[in-house]
Amino acid sequence: MSDFFKNNKITVITTISIVGLFILYFFFFGGIKKQSASDVSLIGQNPQIEYLGPALVETISQVNELVIDRSIFNDPVFGALADKSITINKTTLGRSNPFAPFGLATSSRNSLPTATGNGTNTPVVPTSATSPTKIFNFITDPWAVIQKLMGYWSTHDSAGVNSVSFRQVVCTGTKSAGCNTSFDALNREFSAYTQGSFSTEWSDDKQIILSTAPLAVNDTTSKGYRKTYLYFIIEGSGNIKFIGRIVRDWTMLTGNTSLSDSAMEASLQERLKDTDMDGLADKLETCTDPQKDKVCVRTDPYKRDSNDNGYWDGTEKAMK
């Protein structure tokens, strides 16, 4: 026996070790776990109760029992509600070239309609002899543009006029005298205006419209109103330029109508109405006003920008 143990000592030790480990494993981890009374008592109960707390579970149960009274949707008051939301058009902000020095011309982020000075579709490009040699500062106040213009008109500075105007003028050679006469006339007419005269201002990132309140113009044969509009365009750089002035008259002959004074007034007020506030009265947009333009293009009186090019209908009218 002793010889057997000596000859197989390693095998015997290994076998005893394996048997010992098996017994330890069975003692600590094996066997059948008996179910305790506490385990049995939890059968059928919600395991979330102890985690959430009885009070919270009770509150959630009460919320689940709530019932919405849908009769409100049949109420006439609810049915009379109207959607007053306004769609805000997406606009592009910022300078087209943020690295361009201020005071120098930059390409506009919005394509502008081509302004012409010779009545054709070909833009007038001043020659190098008439091109301005100085840099004109950008202007961001429309009334400051008017003041600049009046200063340039008074000194017959055509280069200065072009620097703040959408339409470019050519005053070289034989045209110089005619330009100076026009400048003098415009300066006299605009001298009668004050900034306070233009009580209405509509604007966005592409245009500004200033207008006066309707001015009564009555005489022995007619009754009516007059409004003056000043139109400006905003370049991509933020610089404001003057497009032009339009003076509109809405009149009715008193001797050719059987309408009472109140009926005439109501008719005139209807003709003055500009629902979409685009600088063009509704009846002028629909070409139904008795004093419509000779060439009248119909636009939408309920949409500022009928063709969705970014410029309001009144602004585009002034550009042409």
Element (H, E) at 161: helix 158-163
Query: Cα–Cα distance between 156 and 187 in angstroms, integer?
Result: 10
Reported as a single tens digit per residue, the pLDDT across 53-93 is: 677 777 777 777 777 777 777 777 777 777 777 777 766 66
Reported as a single tens digit per residue, the pLDDT across 107-156 is: 443 444 444 444 433 333 333 333 334 444 567 789 999 999 999 999 99
Query: Cα–Cα distance between 233 and 63 in angstroms, integer?
Result: 59
Reported as a single tens digit per residue, the pLDDT across 204-263 is: 999 999 999 999 999 888 999 999 999 999 998 889 999 999 999 999 988 877 888 899
Give the SS3 label for residue 210.
strand
Q: How far apart are the first and last CA of the chain?
A: 125
Tell me how crowded residue 259 is: count the other CB atoms within 10 A of its CB: 13
Which residues is 228 bridged to in the sheet? 247
In terms of pTM, does the model score above 0.75?
A: no
Query: Cα–Cα distance between 304 and 300 in angstroms, integer?
Result: 7
Helices 142-154 and 175-191: crossing angle in degrees, nearest 10, is 130
